[in-house]
Structure 1
Amino acid sequence: MKILHQLGHNCNWGLDTHFDNEIGDGFIFTAYSFDCAKMGQTISRRKSADYLPLSMIDLQFYGNKNSTGGKLATYPFHPINNRRDKTSVGGIEKIQAAVTYQQRLGFKKIIIPFFYLEEQNLNKTIKLISRINKNVRLTHGYEYYMTIPFANESIKNEEYVELLLQAITDINIEFDGYYIVCDSNPGYKKKVSVDFNYYTNLLKVFATLNKQGFKTIHGYANWDAIVFNALTNIDFVSIGTFENLRNFNITRFTEKISGGPSDGWYYSEKLMNFIKAKDLTQFRNTGTLDMIRNDRNAFSDIILDESFAWSTQKPDVHKNYLLAISRFYERMRAQKDIKKRASYVLEKVYKARELYERLATDHKVFLMDESSDYHLDTWAAFIQRNILM
């Protein structure tokens, strides 16, 4: 498992943590945030010779001609330009142009962009993937990863997932692997899903592709990727700063939406969760801050200092997460045996749950909503069930 920074707004934070702090193994640039002409140039003081060999780019065709926002229109082959260009070429030609663009820039791992299609259009999805497989030129010297975007209703539909997997693992498929992005739809006042169908079916996607010899990239991965990586081998997992880089949502590419105000969040390895900045007051008042503090993490020490003025726009808030989650993944990938890795993660989940209980019982620290342990029972049950299978 290699760890890739999903880069978007304030990309310098991800670039800096890699080059200055040795966090992560590479990058996934997102077209929404990067001008077409900028790619291959110096970005945030980093020369192309430094970042390109470690990088991929997600050209984000998800919204097709209904796409909107960001820098997408700067890519002449992006379907967002279909609305203005009545002579526009078809979808396969645009996908081929996207592949050629990546090759010319010097990317060695090519993400083949794909459109998001509604669940009822499964047959159309399968036929289009087959056409791409047959008609897009996959020249030697590159690895090709076909994009598969899952809507929340699609990933929870067992029949949909099964039929799609049959198609994308067909013996005639030429792709080296798949770039998987999935809308987990965490729900109200939650940051990760607690839906068993989401975990079951997305694990099936990764596990099946792995067994069939395809490489996989988990794009827009949230920290619930811990669960999937505990139970199967995923070749690349992304880490991101802002939530829109950790939680895929098709709406972002078809509607203009903005995030609400936030002072920021503290990611605690020991609680396996993000804690609201304002909730840290409880820990200070009860002398329990060290119980959730990330060890050997300079960014954690900075933001837990009482004088720190919290803001989600401050890089150390995000760098704490990037360092903490990447270290956890590194410890996971050191466990080559799947059952041992799953047991290691399960033990961490139990310890996190016990820490929540101890904080509440012994110290009267009560955490609500996103800061609570709402997800840990689901994670424990899911991992335990799959260890026994």
Structure 2
Amino acid sequence: MTIKLLHQMGHNSIWNKDSFEKDGVGVGLCYSPVHEVAKNINAAKKQLKETSIFDPQFYLPSSQKKKFQSYDFFPNTILGEKGFNTIDYTAISSESAKRCVDFQIKNNFEKIVIPARFYEQIHPKYIEQQSESFVIPFINYIKKIGINTKKKIILTVPITSGMLNVVEYKINILNWITSFPEISGIYFICQHDRSLKQISDASFLVDYMDTIKSTIDADLEVIVGYTNTESILYTLCGDLSLTVGAFENTRIFSLDKFIVSDEDRRGPKPRIYMPELLNWVNFEEAKLLRKQSPELWNAIYKPTKYSEDAFNATTTITFQNPLLYKHYFLTFAEQINNISKHSGNHRVAYVTSMVDQAIDNYNNIKKVFTLEKNGSDEHLIPWRNAINLFSKR
């Protein structure tokens, strides 16, 4: 078994589909109902769905996002005009589960995903609430129709870094997710608040990696959703599935995209993924560095047809342009494929060498150029520490 990549779909999901179909990046897609109405998913190519999964996204059951209204199983939709509340939903949770499972079967997704609610704070009844509202109703219907004998059943487990900090809480969650014989795997979603785009908290990374590895050691398949470049570290936990996304809200989990808002948001500056830096760099700064220090640039730049088109473009590249994202998909997939060739201590050594090389490359850049904070190397020493701490456990 190797490390697999799934495309975390979002806005402009055609870019993900193109990358998967035309460039051969990944093994499938992770469909997102908050971004795509039900009829479009029903009409999608069969071969696209057969190796893909559907995330029902019950994270915010009261979400009034318009596209959720096209799914008759979504909690806020099935309850009609009065909207979601826990007590009323519990009464019809079995019907919601039936409709959701039937939707996934009808579309012949590779696996059946059981959704879960996201709690931003440590909830004293996290397990009881998830079990009563979602897990038990879904498993009961899954067993009733016997689909668990034909397809793998994946349980969504949305958590926060705060939950992982509390050892007893983390152990209880691990005991809970391993208590269902019908469950074949876990789809982890973890929210970790940060000031920079990259995770630079070694303690969190080690806690999350411990959780992932414990789950793999329990013979459960693991999919880690909404991951950014730090997912390279998660490969040290064993063979698993990771996700790649275009826009940041598919690489960093937040409830924001499930909340209806009239607030105008300024689009982010375009960034290019630099595999030799293990980071995304402001595209304008990348162009300056490319022009100023060609020799250094050649040492840190991995060209693709998409990045070359971006650099040669006669019009301004914005964050809405697919070129830089398709470049990321290709280069990141190559990194994951290379990591997959190693296992055990050899994989640890290989990933460590990737981080060390990135640190060296940044040191060379600093001699001629100062990158803005989100394109800097602030995450790399914490990553190096996380690798050391995790590998010695």
Closer/same/farther in 2, CA of residues 243 and 379 from structure 1, 3 Å limit: same
Aligned to 1:45: none
The answer to whether the Cα contact below 8 Å between 1:161 and 1:201 also exists between their aligned partners in 2 is no
Amino acid at match of 1:380: R
Q: Does 1:384 align with 2:379?
A: no
**Structure 2 residues not aligned, in runs of 5+:** none
Amino acid at match of 2:125: N
| 1:205 CA drift (Å) | 1.7
Report the Cα distance in structure 1 between the residues aligned to 2:313 and 2:130, rounded to whole angstroms. Answer: 55
Amino acid at match of 1:51: L
| 1:307 CA drift (Å) | 4.2
Q: How does 1:1-389 map to 2 (within 5 A)?
A: 1-42=3-44, 48-64=45-61, 66-81=62-77, 82=79, 84-85=81-82, 89-126=91-128, 128-129=130-131, 131-132=136-137, 135-138=140-143, 139=146, 140-170=149-179, 172-187=180-195, 190-229=196-235, 231-256=236-261, 259-283=265-289, 284-287=291-294, 288-295=296-303, 297-305=304-312, 307=314, 309-335=316-342, 337-361=343-367, 364-389=368-393
Q: Please state whether the residue corresponding to 2:366 is helix, strand or coil.
A: helix
Q: Please state whether the residue corresponding to 2:228 is helix, strand or coil.
A: coil
Report the Cα distance in structure 1 between the residues aligned to 2:120 and 2:384, rounded to whole angstroms. Answer: 32
- Identity fraction in percent: 21
| 1:83 CA drift (Å) | 5.6
Closer/same/farther in 2, CA of residues 118 and 386 from structure 1, 3 Å limit: closer
Query: Which region of structure 1 is more displaced relative to structure 2, 87-96 or 309-318?
Result: 87-96
* Residues matched between the structures, number: 375
Report the Cα distance in structure 1 between the residues aligned to 2:16 and 2:285, rounded to whole angstroms. Answer: 26
Report the Cα distance in structure 2 between the residues aligned to 1:179 and 1:96, rounded to whole angstroms. Answer: 20
| 1:326 CA drift (Å) | 0.8
Query: Which region of structure 1 is more displaced relative to structure 2, 240-249 or 150-159?
Result: 150-159
Offset from partner CA, 1:51-100 (integer Å, 9 cap, x none)? 11121111101101x21325111101101223615786533431332112
Report the Cα distance in structure 2 between the residues aligned to 1:179 and 1:274, rounded to whole angstroms. Answer: 25
Offset from partner CA, 1:309-348 (integer Å, 9 cap, x none)? 221111111101111111111111111x221111101101
Closer/same/farther in 2, CA of residues 98 and 207 from structure 1, 3 Å limit: same
Report the Cα distance in structure 1 between the residues aligned to 2:277 and 2:39, rounded to whole angstroms. Answer: 42
| 1:197 CA drift (Å) | 3.0
Q: Please state whether the residue corresponding to 2:281 is helix, strand or coil.
A: strand
Amino acid at match of 1:325: F
Report the Cα distance in structure 1 between the residues aligned to 2:108 and 2:139, rounded to whole angstroms. Answer: 24
Report the Cα distance in structure 2 between the residues aligned to 1:222 and 1:371, rounded to whole angstroms. Answer: 14
Amino acid at match of 1:62: Y
Q: Please state whether the residue corresponding to 1:37 is helix, strand or coil.
A: helix
Report the Cα distance in structure 2 between the residues aligned to 1:286 and 1:239, rounded to whole angstroms. Answer: 30
Offset from partner CA, 1:229-271 (integer Å, 9 cap, x none)? 1x21242111111111111112322353665323410100111
TM-score by length of 2: 0.89
Amino acid at match of 2:271: W
Closer/same/farther in 2, CA of residues 132 and 195 from structure 1, 3 Å limit: farther
The answer to whether the Cα contact below 8 Å between 1:300 and 1:320 also exists between their aligned partners in 2 is yes
Closer/same/farther in 2, CA of residues 12 and 306 from structure 1, 3 Å limit: closer
Q: Please state whether the residue corresponding to 1:40 is helix, strand or coil.
A: helix
Report the Cα distance in structure 2 between the residues aligned to 1:205 and 1:239, rounded to whole angstroms. Answer: 20
Report the Cα distance in structure 1 between the residues aligned to 2:329 and 2:269, rounded to whole angstroms. Answer: 18
Q: Please state whether the residue corresponding to 1:274 is helix, strand or coil.
A: strand
| 1:152 CA drift (Å) | 3.7
Report the Cα distance in structure 2 between the residues aligned to 1:316 and 1:308, rounded to whole angstroms. Answer: 13
| 1:184 CA drift (Å) | 2.1
Report the Cα distance in structure 2 between the residues aligned to 1:246 and 1:343, rounded to whole angstroms. Answer: 26
Amino acid at match of 2:257: R
Report the Cα distance in structure 1 between the residues aligned to 2:94 and 2:214, rounded to whole angstroms. Answer: 27
The answer to whether the Cα contact below 8 Å between 1:63 and 1:116 also exists between their aligned partners in 2 is yes
Amino acid at match of 2:324: V
Closer/same/farther in 2, CA of residues 49 and 358 from structure 1, 3 Å limit: same
Amino acid at match of 2:76: I
Report the Cα distance in structure 1 between the residues aligned to 2:127 and 2:92, rounded to whole angstroms. Answer: 15
The answer to whether the Cα contact below 8 Å between 2:223 and 2:242 also exists between their aligned partners in 1 is yes
Query: Which region of structure 1 is more displaced relative to structure 2, 209-218 or 49-58?
Result: 49-58
